[in-house]
Amino acid sequence: MRDAETTTVRLSEYTPPAYLIDEIALVFSLEPEATLVAARSHVRCTGDTPAPLVLNGERLELQSIAIDGALLTTDKYELEPGKLIILDPPVQFRLDIVTRISPATNTHLDGLYMSGGRFCTQCEAEGFRAITYMLDRPDVLARYAVRIEANKAAYPTLLSNGNKTESGDMENGRHFAVWVDPHPKPSYLFALCAGKYESIHDAFVTKGGRNVALGIYVDPGDSERARYAMDALKRSMKWDEDTFQREYDLDVFNIVAVRDFNFGAMENKGLNIFNSSLILADAETATDADFEAIEAVVGHEYFHNWTGNRITCRDWFQLCLKEGLTVYREQEFSADQRSRPVQRIKDVKRLRARQFGEDAGPLAHAVRPSSYQKIDNFYTATVYEKGGEVIRMLKRLIGKDAFERGMQLYFERRDGTASTVEDFIGCFEETAGRKLDDFMRWYDQAGTPALKVHGDYDAAAKTYHLTVSQRTAPTPGQTSKHALPIPLQVGFIAPDGAIIAGKAEGDDIARTEHHLVLNDAQRTFRFSGVLEEPIPTVLRGFSAPVTLDQNLTIKQRLAQIAHDPDPFTRWEAGQAIARGVLLGEAPEAAPALAEALGRELDRAQQDPAFAALALRLPDLNELLLAAEDPDPEALHISRETLRRAIASKLRDRLLPIASTPSETPFSPGADAAGRRSLKAAALDLLAALGPELGETFVTVFDGAQSMTEAMAALDALGASGSDKFDAALTRFYERWRANPLVIDKWFAVQAASPRDNALDRAERLRTHAEFNTRNPNRVRALAAAFAMRNPRAFHERDGGGYRFLAALAQDIDPHNPALAARLLTPFESWKRFDASRQAHARAALEHLAALPTLSKNTREMVERTLA
């Protein structure tokens, strides 16, 4: 293999750019198969010894290069794989490069490509180099002026970043538009869209009085379904002003929805591009989870305008600087728009489901990794979700006030720059008035710390000693681990629920809640004036992304469920009892758990969304991660057995909830969604009773006035093993066949259904006429739903699930490497299983590794997973 194919990029080898480009003018002459891109850049050398100028470029046809107007002869430059090297450039010059590209045949879905007959771009992380030769790195910030020319009838709308300054007709039925973005930006934030759209428009007046025109552009026929996204956008803009004093900075903010998109959405300056699944929603076609995701992601991309765009990353190792911080901002936004406790529980569930598994396997990496081959493979749960948790811990450790002042200092000081995590943390060192070296370890050390807690009460002395230790297991490339500063939010209650105060060492008053920090491998926290033996909670609000081994008795946990003032703790106590039952540590607790869930139902009307979360047992993936020698089939059976026991006991109370008629008119708000989520949780539990309730589920399905209820009924039909599942699926398909986002759900509900023969069904879906490896949503609806949401089938004993996933990745790799590589993520758990499963997983991965043409993206994933 060529060198360029195997290069590892290292954080320690960062060097500032030898040249900068301050201005760039682009002219696009759009044609599906032969688009011409003329780029005129103003280049200047940053040092005093002129060096060759090395520009990045991929999949480009070079037409011409000129320096200060003079064409360059071929002896003055070299073309290497991925590079254009200009050998002897002046210190400062005008560079004109013309390239030709073919968007219509670009299946990678990065650079400039076509989706549904419309042009669009995706440049993060390194897609701009597939448009023209460029210093394609985030620390090169340029002002962009973009002229787009295209056939007017075929492409009536022409969009790019910034403000539109000019537009008009040309000869031969063509027209043009010029967009100028006054804010210097790195190339990964460039965007262009052109085509026939339907759009909706609104306006937002910023607190400083700027009138911003808002537009959302979607496929013709879809515009009514963009209303919720528009509403979420306006709420995001207001929230960022109120919460972080961040105002929008252009006169236009546009969003374009595309059907073929590798990720969720992209924060291009002034022109966000979204996967249509995260824009389009109405009661009939979108679930409440979809509405929630739309609100969160619209917020997320908007919040990037400050955390990502105004202040960007110096290099891709700093990805968490924008992503972790923006996830944190998005979660806070969602918490403020909906229910804070429910949001927190959902965020923790997601972290545990996606990040803890990553941290525990061969793909474990730090929030700020130290090396990569393809940066596309590092858009991970660790960088995003754990990155968000790190910000939340920072706030806990230095306090709200120092955190808020630190954020403002960061916005002021780093505005307009490409920054590092050290630059960011440095602002908080100033406002908190102390060094944060130990905190930096959260960025550079991989793995989930495991906490052990032990309590000692001295009744005579009225003292309580809480001993907490931490240990992080070795991860690939990091064998020895340091102790991390772990914020603990501690509180005590009595068995009857009374709150027990105590005076912590060094504190002058007794408190009912303690904000402690575990800095060492082990520490004993001493409390005095503790009037009775307490039930301790150490991780209220999930104050740190750690696992906890606390050895509480069932009785103590039941008291927490009933009485702890912290909702996260009340939820977690129920989950912990369930884990104990399911992992065989405390099987005798099953009846008590069923009773406790009955009490949740008693108070469900106060907070249905919370009750719904409480009713859902830990999912199979979580159990597979927690078990010593995980046996997927056995754990599935014990989980179903427990669910059946609970459902039988609560049946008469669950049935009326499951059969509640749909509320009309539909509201996507948190309250109505919470009531629907309780209904869905009831259906889910009742499904454990088996096929006997099939008719009930069909009635719910047929009467459903929202997609949430329809999908919950379909899920129940699937999970219950009912033979009415297929007929319902057929009706669903016939009704929705014209709507691709709904047909994605049709694929996913089947692929995720834990029925016998799930793999056969998945195989059949793969040959279905509507299965399409070119559309990432459709691929994920089958592959990710199967491998991530149906662990019983994915880990099938004979290895069929592993082969299925690997074969799909193999199909997709030649045309979309980034997508293929990410599909393989579920293999991260393979080393935890028995020898026979391991052999099957290894064989599937080695088969991929042996393919001579495997992409760099997928090869990196396969090799890291096997290592």
Whole-angstrom Cα distance, residue 810 to residue 807?
5
List the single partner that 546 binds among ligand PHE, Zn ion, none, CB under 5 to 8 Å by kind: none
List residues bridging with 547 in a β-sheet: 450
Question: DSSP letter at 715?
Answer: H
222 near ligand PHE, rule: CB under 6 A: no
The DSSP call for residue 485 is -
Name residue, tokens 């194919």: 5
Q: How far is the CB of 125 from ligand PHE (least distance, A)?
A: 6
Q: Does position 124 bind ligand PHE by CB under 6 A?
A: yes
Nearer to ligand PHE among residue 217 and residue 274 (C-beta): 274
Beta carbons within 10 angstroms of residue 72's beta carbon: 17
Cβ proximity of 22 and 42 under 8 Å: yes
263 binds, among Zn ion, ligand PHE, none (CB under 5 to 8 A by kind): ligand PHE
Alpha carbons 612 and 346: distance in angstroms, whole number: 11
Mutual orientation of helices 608-615 and 567-582 as an angle, nearest 10°?
20
Report in angstroms how near the CB of residue 313 gets to ligand PHE at its nearest: 11
**Cβ closer to ligand PHE: 116 or 690?**
116
Q: Which does 708 bind (CB under 5 to 8 A by kind): Zn ion, ligand PHE, none?
A: none
With the C-alpha atoms ordered 817, 327, 279, 791, is the resulting torsion angle positive or negative? positive
The smaller minimum CB distance to Zn ion, of residues 388 and 718, is found at 388
| Residue 120 or 806 with smaller CB distance to ligand PHE | 120
Residue of 58, 301, 600, 828 marked active site:
301
Query: Least separation, in Å, of the C-beta of 407 and ligand PHE?
Result: 19
CB of 269 to ligand PHE, least distance (A): 12
- For residue 203, the tally of other CB atoms under 10 A from its CB is 11
Is the Cα torsion angle 281, 282, 284, 290 positive or negative in sign?
A: positive
What six digits make up the tokens of 384? 């995003």
Among positions 31, 260, 267, 572, the unique one binding ligand PHE when judged by CB under 6 A: 267
Smallest distance from Zn ion to CB 385, Å: 12
Q: How far apart are CA 442 and CA 483, in angstroms?
A: 10
Using alpha carbons only, give the angle 795, 801, 807 rounded to the nearest 5 degrees: 145
x-marked contacts with ligand PHE along 367-396 as a string, rule CB under 6 A: ------------x-----------------
Residue of 323, 359, 389, 572 that binds ligand PHE (CB under 6 A): 323
Q: Which residue has 């490896």 as its token pair?
A: 773
Residue with tokens 């195997």: 6
Q: Kindly report the CA angle at 100 between 96 and 104, in degrees rounded to 5? A: 145
Closest CA to 711 of 741, 671, 669, 670: 741
Which of ligand PHE, Zn ion, none lies near 124, with the C-beta cut-off 5 to 8 A by kind?
ligand PHE
Q: Binding residues for ligand PHE, how many (CB under 6 A)?
A: 11
Q: What is the C-alpha separation between 818 and 847, in angstroms, rounded?
A: 19
Considering only 37, 53, 159, 266, the residue that binds ligand PHE (CB under 6 A) is 266
CB of 137 to ligand PHE, least distance (A): 15
As a residue count, the chain comes to 867
What x-and-dash track marks residues 93-122 binding ligand PHE by CB under 6 A? Answer: -----------------------------x
How would DSSP label each residue in 209-220? --EEEEEEEEST
Binding mask 294-313 for ligand PHE (x = CB under 6 A): ------xx--x---------
Q: How far is CA 647 from CA 15, 219, 593, 636, in A?
A: 61, 44, 12, 16
Our CB check for Zn ion shows the closer of 276 and 326 to be 326
Minimum CB–partner distance for residue 379 and ligand PHE (Å): 5
Q: How many CB atoms lie within 10 A of CB 458?
A: 12
Q: Phi, psi at residue 197, to the nearest 5°?
A: -130, 165
Q: Residue 673 to residues 283, 340, 600: CA-CA distances in angstroms?
A: 11, 15, 18
Nearer to ligand PHE (CB atom), residue 159 or residue 432: 159
Taking CB within 5 to 8 Å according to partner kind, which of Zn ion, ligand PHE, none is near residue 382? none
Question: Which of Zn ion, ligand PHE, none binds 379 (CB below 5-8 Å, type-dependent)?
Answer: ligand PHE
Q: Give least dist CB 157 to Zn ion, A.
A: 26
Count the neighbouring beta carbons within 10 Å of the beta carbon of residue 92.
11
Q: For 258, phi and psi rounded to 5 degrees? A: -125, 150
Q: Which does 134 bind (CB under 5 to 8 A by kind): ligand PHE, Zn ion, none?
A: none
- Pair type for strands 418-419 and 312-313: parallel
For residue 719, the partner it binds in ligand PHE, Zn ion, none, with Cβ less than 5 to 8 A by kind, is: none
Site map 423..462 versus ligand PHE, x via CB under 6 A = ----------------------------------------
Name which of 383 and 862 has its Cβ closer to ligand PHE.
Answer: 383
> Which DSSP letter does residue 108 get?
S
User: Cβ of residue 10: shortest distance to Zn ion, in angstroms?
Assistant: 24
What's the rounded Cα separation, in Å, for the pair 261 and 275?
5
Residues ≥6 apart with Cβ < 8 Å to 460: none
User: Could you tell me which stretch among 13-21, 131-139, 261-269, 804-812 binds ligand PHE (CB under 6 A)?
Assistant: 261-269
Provide CB contacts within 8 A for 637, sequence distance 6+. none
| Closest residue by beta carbon to ligand PHE | 263
Contact at 8 Å (CB) between 821 and 363? no
Complex with ligand PHE: residue 374 or 579, whichever CB lies closer: 374
Instruction: Work out what residue 813 binds among Zn ion, ligand PHE, none; the CB cut-off runs from 5 to 8 Å by kind.
Output: none
Q: Is the torsion defined by CA of 333, 337, 340, 342 positive or negative?
A: negative
CA-based R_g, the chain, Å = 28
Q: How far is the CB of 106 from Zn ion (least distance, A)?
A: 23
Indicate which of Zn ion, ligand PHE, none lies near residue 329 (CB less than 5 to 8 Å, by partner kind).
Answer: none
DSSP character at residue 519: -
Residue 301 beta carbon to ligand PHE: minimum distance, rounded to whole angstroms: 5
CB-nearer residue toward ligand PHE: 181 or 323: 323
Cβ distance 136 to 129 under 8 Å? yes
User: Which does residue 122 bind out of ligand PHE, Zn ion, none, counting CB within 5 to 8 angstroms by kind?
Assistant: ligand PHE
Closest CA to 93 of 65, 132, 113: 65
> How would DSSP label each residue in 529-549?
---S--EEESBTT--SS-EEE
Instruction: Specify whether 301 is catalytic.
Output: yes
The CB-of-671 to ligand PHE minimum distance in angstroms stands at 29
Q: Which of 77, 263, 274, 443 binds ligand PHE (CB under 6 A)?
A: 263
The identity of residue 422, as a single letter, is E
**CB 326 → ligand PHE: shortest distance, Å?**
7
Write out the two tokens for 352: 């545990």
Identify the CA nearest to 440 among candidates 428, 422, 427: 422
Would you tell me which residues interact with Zn ion (CB under 5 A)?
A: 323, 326
Residues near ligand PHE, by CB under 6 A: 122, 124, 263, 265-267, 300-301, 304, 323, 379
Q: Which residues are catalytic?
A: 301
